[in-house]
Chain A
Amino acid sequence: MSLELTFWWLLAIKLAVAAAVVPVIGMVIGYAEMKLSAHMQSRVGPYFAGGRFGWAQLIADGVKFIQKEDIIPEEADRPVFKWAPALVMLGTMALLVIVPVHPSPRYGIVRDLEVGIFYALAISSVSTIGVLMAGWSSANKYSMIGGLRAAGQLIAYELPLVLATVGVVIQAGTMSMQGIVSAQVAQGWPFVLTQFIGFAIFMIATLAELTRLPFDMPIAESELVMGYVTEYSGFRFLFFFLAEFANMFSMSVIAATLFLGGYGLWGINPETLLSPIILFAKVGVLVFLMIWLRWTLPRLREDQLQTLAWKWLIPIAIANIIVTAVLKVVL
């Protein structure tokens, strides 16, 4: 009885942490993006908010958004319009639940699922449904084109995303996130050394899934004004805004777990409290990579994106799986 009680208490606390972590991470990455992009463009970026380095810029932004009027277009499909941002956020939050930050099962992870990767990839698509809902319900042609582009992008990039992870699953022999990390810790090197093709495909597909440049056609400011978020304002806009950054984090966490060895680092005992720091450092590198690309590359066209997915990424990913499977059997 007492054991069960502790379990539920722990689970509740972990869930609360996962829920609280999303906005915080969103703000941290948002701030990083502002500062990094500024320095790439010979600007200073946020400067005054909070006294030094503009560290409170995102908090100030958040307060501003909360104060704003929540405008819902007259023609909009009200319930769908209202629930879309929540769904986008939900996908992000639900993803963080299975991230292992420490080898100990007690506080290293909210819930270690047997089908961890499967769950992660499935739940990460939920936010795209939210995007589609937003695009459809806004009663705005730009929003609708944006939403439909997002749907097309989801279909095209879900496949390479899934296929890219299969190689890792074959090598690790498990779909549990914790299991994959411990496999990498046990062998002493991360899967990226053998699965670098899978890693590259995973990162490209992640960018498309996150609708970040060079795949940000669903938003495409210069074409579709603001895509599916055109009609959103106030707190609901803030949800999309935070979800984008939090999603960057959660997808990077999964990439780091699958390919970069998660909390493990060669020569360091994973049982210490260094483990979460190592994981977040790896995530930081991936997030920086995404921000870097975002401020360097122009945007692809929708048909070019589809070509890239169907004619290049998927065949390469399948070839990668075949080679991995054959080598696994042979070696």
Chain B
Amino acid sequence: MESTFAHHLSEAAVSVELETEGMTLNIGPQHPSTHGVLRLVATVDGERATNVRPVIGYMHRGYEKLSEVRTYPQIITIINRIDWVSGFANEVPFVVAAERLMGVEAPPRAQWIRLVLTEMARISSHLVFMASYPLELGAATPLFFALRERERVLDLLESVTGGRFHPNFNRLGGVKPVYAAGPTTKKAGMDIPSGFLAETRDAMTKVLATCDEIENLVAGNEVFLARTKDVGIMPVDVAASYGVSGPNLRASGAGFDLRKVSDYLPYSEFDFDIPVGRNGDCWDRWWVRLEEIRQSCRIITQAIDGLPSSPLQAKVPRIIKVPAGETYVRAENPKGEMGYHLVSLGGLGPYRLKIRSASFSNLSILPWILEEALVPDFIAIMGSLDFVLGDVDR
């Protein structure tokens, strides 16, 4: 008690200004724009935050622990649910990790199908961002433009995998042959559905057209520019030191993309650019994602033009046991870098599976970036980081 009094005295001596007590504003876990169950405990002075503390863990489902008591094929189902906006992209690095320990490589056609579907997951994830971000800034209409196109992409994903959100399509050593053929169809006839390639080409044209439409509607808007330019600036060194990755890092000016660096999928055979932002503000993060949709369309168009023919599945034993060893495979997911550290002791399931999810690291910069921000900018900045709470808490 006395120490507080002394503390107040010392403060009074330093500052003659009227000191008002900050108000604690609890944003979330139930709030329209915290993307699920993120909770922010902010001390605000008027509308300006003095201190922000994110509280996570409201959606912890224990997938890392759960993986230790599941077999490898079962885990693919679980990890679909980590970042549910791009379920397919979560499967690939895990499957590649297990395949590397087994010494198996998926046939080229399977790899290309994986690549096409991963890029579709990226488009769908970024379109969700294109839908939700203007909504968080108050513009409701782009939501419908973006989600309409996402529906096309999800339909294509569904036609191949049978799932819209959680495809569960990858198998160790390849991809699952087409679902629509049913169990009685001969394996030799199983492939991606007929008409898929033509429909994809058509859908990509439409997605590109929508990108232009969204750019017209949103990027040409003075209010949108005023809300995003120079808001939430994230210098590249700070971003890197917090482990921020993916479009958020590239928006800050680092041209780092695992698709160019790593070889988990045959990206080296494709011609595509990596959009890089300049200032690292909300506007750049929005723009980088829009450009990435366009680049993904480019990749998909190239892939369906030159889809190699081969079986969809490499030879693997009926009961899969992964030899002892450990490996780390990381991939460029829509939200950023996603990695699986897989430790196997030779059993039916992994001994330990450490999941490095993109949103968790991207979100860790929040206390730094939200300091001294205005309450309306909270939403603009949080939205621009594009995290999914399932990806944060796992």
Contacts of B25 in A (CB 8 A): 141, 145
* A299 and B374 contact, Cβ closer than 8 Å, known pairs A222-B379, A223-B33: no
A303 within 8 A of B: yes
B23→A298 contact, CB < 8 A: no
B55-94 CB contacts (< 8 Å) to partner A: none
Contacts of B376 in A (CB 8 A): 217, 220, 223, 299, 301-302
B23→A141 contact, CB < 8 A: yes
Contacts of A220 in B (CB 8 A): 138, 376
Contacts of B47 in A (CB 8 A): 145, 302
B136 within 8 A of A: yes
A61 within 8 A of B: no
A41→B221 contact, CB < 8 A: no
| A216, A295, A299: residue with the most chain B Cβ atoms closer than 10 Å | A299
In the complex, per-residue mask of B218-234: 1 if CB is within 8 Å of any chain A CB, else 0: 00010110110000000
In the complex, per-residue mask of B225-252: 1 if CB is within 8 Å of any chain A CB, else 0: 0110000000000000000000000000
Contacts of A40 in B (CB 8 A): 141
In the complex, per-residue mask of B104-143: 1 if CB is within 8 Å of any chain A CB, else 0: 0000000000000000000000000000001111111101
Contacts of A300 in B (CB 8 A): 223, 226-227
Residue of A nearest to B30 (CB): A225
B144→A43 contact, CB < 8 A: yes
B374→A298 contact, CB < 8 A: no
A3 within 8 A of B: no
A315 to B380, CA, bound (A): 30
Residue of A nearest to B23 (CB): A141
B329-386 CB contacts (< 8 Å) to partner A: 374-379
B226→A216 contact, CB < 8 A: no
Contacts of A302 in B (CB 8 A): 47, 374, 376
Partner of B138 from A41, A43, A141, A222 at Cβ < 8 Å:
A222
A296→B226 contact, CB < 8 A: no
B213 to chain A, nearest CB (A): 11
Partner of A296 from B23, B31, B137, B141 at Cβ < 8 Å:
B141
Contacts of A141 in B (CB 8 A): 23, 25-26
B266 within 8 A of A: no
* A295 and B223 contact, Cβ closer than 8 Å, known pairs A42-B148, A302-B376: no
A151 within 8 A of B: no
Contacts of B32 in A (CB 8 A): 221-222, 225
* A298 and B221 contact, Cβ closer than 8 Å, known pairs A41-B144, A222-B137: yes
A303 to B377, CA, bound (A): 11
A295→B141 contact, CB < 8 A: yes
B127-165 CB contacts (< 8 Å) to partner A: 134-141, 143-145, 148
* A301 and B226 contact, Cβ closer than 8 Å, known pairs A145-B47, A217-B376, A223-B33: yes
A298→B31 contact, CB < 8 A: no
A64-110 CB contacts (< 8 Å) to partner B: none
A42→B144 contact, CB < 8 A: yes
A304 within 8 A of B: yes
A225→B140 contact, CB < 8 A: no
A216→B141 contact, CB < 8 A: no
A297→B139 contact, CB < 8 A: yes
Contacts of A214 in B (CB 8 A): 138, 223
B143-202 CB contacts (< 8 Å) to partner A: 143-145, 148
Residue of A nearest to B47 (CB): A302
B247 to chain A, nearest CB (A): 20
A209-240 CB contacts (< 8 Å) to partner B: 213-214, 216-217, 220-223, 225
B227→A301 contact, CB < 8 A: yes
Task: Please provide the 3 A-B residue pairs with the shortest distance between their CB atoms, ordered closest to farther.
Answer: A299-B138, A298-B137, A41-B144
17 contacts between A and B (CB under 8 A): A40-B141, A41-B141, A42-B144, A141-B26, A216-B138, A220-B376, A222-B135, A222-B379, A295-B139, A298-B221, A299-B139, A299-B376, A301-B374, A301-B376, A302-B374, A303-B374, A304-B227
Q: 8 other contacts beyond A41-B141, A214-B138, A297-B138, with CB at 8 A cut-off?
A: A42-B148, A213-B138, A220-B376, A223-B33, A225-B31, A298-B227, A299-B227, A302-B376
